[in-house]
Structure 1
Amino acid sequence: MHDTAHGVTLAELYAARRRLAGRVTRTPLTRSAALSRRFDAEILLKWETRQPTGAFKLRGATNMLSALLERQGREALAAGVVTASTGNHGRAVAHAAAALGIPAVVCLSRLVPEHKAAAIAERGAEVVRVGDSQDEAFAEVERRVAERGMTPIPPFDDPLIVAGQGTIGLELMEDAPDLDRVIVGLSGGGLLGGIGAAVKAIRPAVAVTGVSLSRGAAMAESLAAGRPVAVEEVESLADSLGGGIGLDNRCTFALVRQVMDDHHRVSEAAIAAAMVDLLAHEKCLVEGAAAVGLAALAEHGLEVRGRRVALILSGNAVSLETLDRARALIGR
């Protein structure tokens, strides 16, 4: 692969970065001394926790909303935008929409923690609770699009969303051009797909490793089946990795298959230990989904000795109660 991956080209990645300038943080990439010693490698941490909304999702949401304004004009978005989310995407859409003066509605299932719903509402979006799964929240989005003429902002399955997330990959290649591997949490595939498209276009030798939940991992089950499938959602410390990928997935399923080199599932105990380790050694409080890269390194003994490896700290939307659950799970 050279400059394209299932519709996500380098030109589109750089266009996304231009749209994000001044609205999204170019996050730092730093070396972890503790983790580098532990794994006998150069372990680099990409701090998406430092975005204004605390997570990488702001990139995709900002890119898509900005592109829609460019292409369709403000009148086309007068009815507002609507999305479904497990938390971080909803907060990103709320933030980006408010910054651009666009009304926004965010549909959440009852599984989404209340602190995430509150954070969305604080940014000016209308929060709608519906059903017990992400699929039911998506159905509400479709209803509002059909009945009210709202514009949908998908959480992952759109080239504009993917290109926004892929700007992380551009930054990785600028800050660590000799990177050997990047380890990314895998759910809907927007983050891994975007990063993978960017790094593979610039440095094809970079290994892209995906990490999923041990249970309720829709993308992992879909890849195994060779087609998008539905799975039952389960509670997890890494709750933002839950949810389906859409049975009519048109972008990220194929993209992940193209750019991902290997994949691992991690247990709740491994996620808990990684969350606690990152707090203890890096002094950062991260959500479970942000800790799965470290969890995979520890639980599966990935061979990284002597390599430069980037872990994506994707977000910090975690409550103290969740941290307490993580500590209790591992007895620390």
Structure 2
Amino acid sequence: MTDLSPSLTLNDIRAGADVLRGVADDTPLVPSPYLEAQFGQPFWLKLENMQPIGAFKLRGALNAVANLPDGTAGVTCCSTGNHGRGVAYAAAEKGMRAVVCMSELVPQAKVDGIRALGAEVRIVGRSQDDAFAESRRLVAEEGLVEISPFDDPFVIAGQGTIGLEIMERRPEIETLLVPLSGGGLAAGVALAAKALKPSVKVIGISMDRGAAMYESLRAGHPVEVAEYASLADSLGGGIGVENRLSYPMCRALLDDVILVTEEEIYRAMQTLYYEDRIVAEGGCVVGTAAVQAGKLTLTGPTATVITGRNLDMDVFTRIVSGRDVILGDVTIKGMPYGA
């Protein structure tokens, strides 16, 4: 793809906003009276689960596909689910072939959702790295253009429009809690938010097993991590050892990174459902999970991104019913809400 400068700017994000206008922009930013009462500060939810594909990933995918060279035959990507949906949707809008590569750990509901949008799906290995290798093979052997889920300038700029919308609508916000995986969302949101309000704090939140960006930031360079089944499956996968954009941007722009347990994610999914009537993936609720668990104290108006709703409804039903959930070799004991 045609590259931008490694140093993205607010202008790149505003250009992305022009691409998305009327298709994937202006999702609701709603207050949560319950969370405000619990945490003692105004608390806002950016509802990216209301996107046409049910997840924020549509923003970056649409922006990336819109900036492809003329004559591009098709696109490929590796994905834990939502990026694949976004690429499939964006490619279908252009009448373009899309091949989405995924590991065996991706829930079947997400695989089915991508196929329903007209994309081909390749299931390869048990890690995001295996899926990435297949995507690279398709680039080399079939001439497809790869769209990274996080390490692409147009993807990052597209995701950054979320930060733009939040801060333009609620400039009083002092802290943003952003789910953190490969870092495309966190990097874009942090860039936009801090360009508009340098004092705003942007905190990345991830699960405590297999958090690739967290481990990379600790190591001082991108590293590979083991992957595990998680309620926050959309946050799984590596960041790529040759990461050139999202890692340095997260290192420069994030004020902190916090990890939460599966039990804390379970509780936060229940809270969002019972108190705000929102169906959300485990990866969406890590921000509220961190606050509920006492892992950070809020000092002013706060917002978090509810990133998607594309989850296994059987698992979700078990969670809101307070029943056990099995994740690979780990069982999360049932916890009735309010108990």
Instruction: Place the TM-score, normalised by the shorter chain, in its bin.
Output: over 0.9
Aligned partner of 2:175 in structure 1 is: 181
SS at match of 2:227: coil
The amino acid that maps onto 1:47 is L
d(CA) in 1 for partners of 2:8 and 2:27? 22
Shift of 1:172: 0.7
What are the Cα deviations for residues 242-298 of structure 1, in whole angstroms up to 9, with x where unaligned?
A: 100000001000000111001110000000000010000111110000010000111
Aligned partner of 1:196 in structure 2 is: 190
Percent of residue pairs bearing the same amino acid type: 47
| Residue range with higher mean Cα deviation, 148-157 or 293-302 | 293-302
Shift of 1:7: 1.7
Aligned partner of 2:23 in structure 1 is: 23
Aligned partner of 2:270 in structure 1 is: 276
Contact (CA 8 Å) 1:6, 1:254: kept in 2 or not? no
The amino acid that maps onto 1:331 is M
Aligned partner of 1:44 in structure 2 is: 44
Select the structure that is richer in helix: 1
d(CA) in 2 for partners of 1:258 and 1:100? 35
Mapping of residues 86-101 of structure 1, within 5 Å:
86-101=80-95
Aligned partner of 1:131 in structure 2 is: 125
The amino acid that maps onto 1:191 is L
Indicate whether 1:164 and 2:150 are aligned.
no
Shift of 1:154: 0.6
Indicate whether 1:285 and 2:279 are aligned.
yes
SS at match of 2:293: helix
Contact (CA 8 Å) 2:62, 2:90: kept in 1 or not? yes
d(CA) in 1 for partners of 2:218 and 2:269? 28
Contact (CA 8 Å) 1:5, 1:197: kept in 2 or not? no
Structure 2 residues not aligned, in runs of 5+: 324-332
Shift of 1:325: 4.6
Shift of 1:23: 2.1
Shift of 1:173: 1.2
Contact (CA 8 Å) 1:269, 1:330: kept in 2 or not? no
The amino acid that maps onto 1:46 is K
Structure 1 residues not aligned, in runs of 5+: none
SS at match of 1:257: helix
Aligned partner of 2:65 in structure 1 is: 65
> Given the alignment, which residue of 322, 329, 335 partners 1:331?
335
The amino acid that maps onto 1:154 is S
Aligned partner of 2:329 in structure 1 is: none
Indicate whether 1:321 and 2:314 are aligned.
yes
Shift of 1:25: 3.3
d(CA) in 2 for partners of 1:60 and 1:330? 36
d(CA) in 2 for partners of 1:301 and 1:213? 13
Indicate whether 1:300 and 2:294 are aligned.
yes
Shift of 1:330: 4.2
What are the Cα deviations for residues 84-110 of structure 1, in whole angstroms up to 9, with x where unaligned?
A: 100000011001110122110101111
Runs of 4+ in structure 1 displaced over 6 angstroms? Answer: none
SS at match of 2:83: helix
Indicate whether 1:312 and 2:316 are aligned.
no
Indicate whether 1:112 and 2:106 are aligned.
yes
d(CA) in 1 for partners of 2:29 and 2:22? 19
Shift of 1:320: 2.0
SS at match of 1:212: strand
Contact (CA 8 Å) 2:89, 2:117: kept in 1 or not? yes
Number of aligned residues: 322
Residues 65/222 of structure 1: CA separation in 2 closer, same or farther (3 Å cut): same
d(CA) in 2 for partners of 1:300 and 1:191? 24
Contact (CA 8 Å) 2:202, 2:256: kept in 1 or not? yes
RMSD: 1.3
Indicate whether 1:253 and 2:247 are aligned.
yes
Q: TM-score, normalised by structure 2?
A: 0.93
Contact (CA 8 Å) 2:17, 2:25: kept in 1 or not? no
Contact (CA 8 Å) 2:107, 2:312: kept in 1 or not? no
Q: TM-score, normalised by structure 1?
A: 0.95
Shift of 1:302: 1.7
d(CA) in 1 for partners of 2:131 and 2:107? 14
The amino acid that maps onto 1:314 is T
